[in-house]
Amino acid sequence: MSNASPGAWRQMDDLAARGDRVGLQSLLDDLTGTEVARAMSHLSATEQNRILTTLNAIDAAEVLDEVPDAQAAELVERLSVAQAAAIVSELPSDEQADILAAIETNRAELILSEMEPEQAADLRNLSSYAPDVAGGLMVTEVLRFKQTNTIAEVIAHLQEGGDKYVDYEIQYSYVVSDTGVLVGVLRLRSLLLALPESPISSVMLSEPLFVRDQDSVDDLLDFFDEHEFLGVPVVDAERRLLGVVKRHDVDAALTDRADGEYLKSQGIVGGEELRTMPILKRCRRRLAWLTVNIGLNILAASIIALYQDTLTAVIALAVFLPIISDMSGCSGNQAVAVSIRELSLGLIEPNEALRVWGKEVTVGAINGTVLGLFVAVAAWLWQGNVYLGLVVGSALALNTVISVSIGGAVPLLLKRWNVDPALASGPVLTTVTDMCGFLLVLGFATLMLTKLTA
């Protein structure tokens, strides 16, 4: 039963301040993972550091495993090199790689130099992979045996290494050749039912399924959709066994990617942002987009300034400018969302921008006409001027076509140019559609000024 309360973080800090390791660990044992993460987020940097240094390395690693990777990296960076190395060494290999990849390179190398040479070498290899491929998602903690081993030897090995393997998510053991090539899968049930003197090659499943270390997260999703496995072995180009990718890690990677795309679409660049991060770091990440957005908004405002005489003559237009810009922006963001989704599912290719544009123009024309009629009727009923309705209705209809054209096609073009498609939405798309909307409304109004002021 959880003892979590709004003051759980205060209890944690009080125990750490007194150096009560046993009491602190007892309190943490009573909290869920979510409660531990929430409590750590309420503590200052000094208090967080005190928590981790009070605990032993194993228990501190369990705390790091509960918080988001971005926060875990911040915590590790504030520890001494020796303390960081001791704690990171107790984490699963995939978590180790994620955390060290998120901190400054020189600092990461110092931490690696304090770790066991073999573990550090494996971790450097893991860190060389992109985070969204099988090699970057796999864990290297797997059970592997030579095909010449007997059943008795394998069982004895498992019993001797019980303390080491207790944290492994063991479903299968893997059988490799003398050169490390994956040749089979060994079910634990088979070990218990076979004769002790039999070689494991006699009970292994030959021709095992596997994925390549460079397979993308989308390839892995396809694999797990087709096969009801909890994990799959990862091999290199020579089919040497490297590790295992777990299904829930693939799901987590897809969630992280979606979260990252959403943050970018909202103008937050540079990775995940948490309120536990240093204030200046958070400001820099937001300002990277906001400063660009200022320039774009000035351009949009300059269009209004260019037509200020028209706006002064027909002040009712000011009511409809935000309506047209907002509705067009919403339509454009819908098109962006569909394009990014279809790109991630592999349903469209970056070179299909023209085809996508054609389909979006059709939707934009229909939706724009419907929305334009609504706005036109509202303007006519309000001001009793049919020409005002014609101006704002036509502007909204055309701007809807423009916004969905940009929203549908630009993500594909950006993808083709190796730029993140999420950059097509958010501030940039909104500002461009604002500019077009203002230009259409005020331009049409200028052409029909005598009818609007009659």
Write out pLDDT tens, residues 340-364.
878 876 778 888 889 999 999 999 9
59-62-68 Cα angle (round to 5): 145
Please report the pLDDT score of residue 400 as a whole number.
96
Q: Are 76 and 103 in contact (CB under 8 A)?
A: yes
Residues 433 and 273: their CA atoms lie apart, in Å, by 28
DSSP code at position 3: -
pLDDT at 3: 47
CA distances from 173 to 170, 202, 215, 276, 364 (A): 7, 14, 22, 40, 55
324: tokens are 């047209």
So what's the pLDDT on residue 4? 47
Using pLDDT thresholds of 50, 70 and 90, give the confidence band for residue 426. Answer: low
- CA angle (60, 61, 65) in 5-degree steps: 120
pTM for the full predicted model: 0.62
Q: All domains of the chain, ordered by start, with CATH? A: 8-137 (1.25.60.10), 144-247 (3.10.580.10), 279-452 (1.10.357.20)
pLDDT confidence tier of residue 262, bands split at 50, 70 and 90: low
CB half-sphere exposure, 378, CA atoms < 13 A: 15
pLDDT of 362 reads 94
* pLDDT at site 183: 92
Of 198 and 371, more confident: 371
Contacts of residue 351, defined as CB under 8 A and 6 or more positions apart, other chains included, come to 412, 416
Is the separation of the CB atoms in 115 and 85 below 8 Å? yes
Question: Given its phi and psi angles, is residue 174 left (phi above 0), alpha (psi -120 to 50 degrees) or beta?
Answer: beta
Average pLDDT score, the chain? 86
Q: Of 152-161, 388-397, 400-409, 420-429, which range is least confident?
A: 420-429
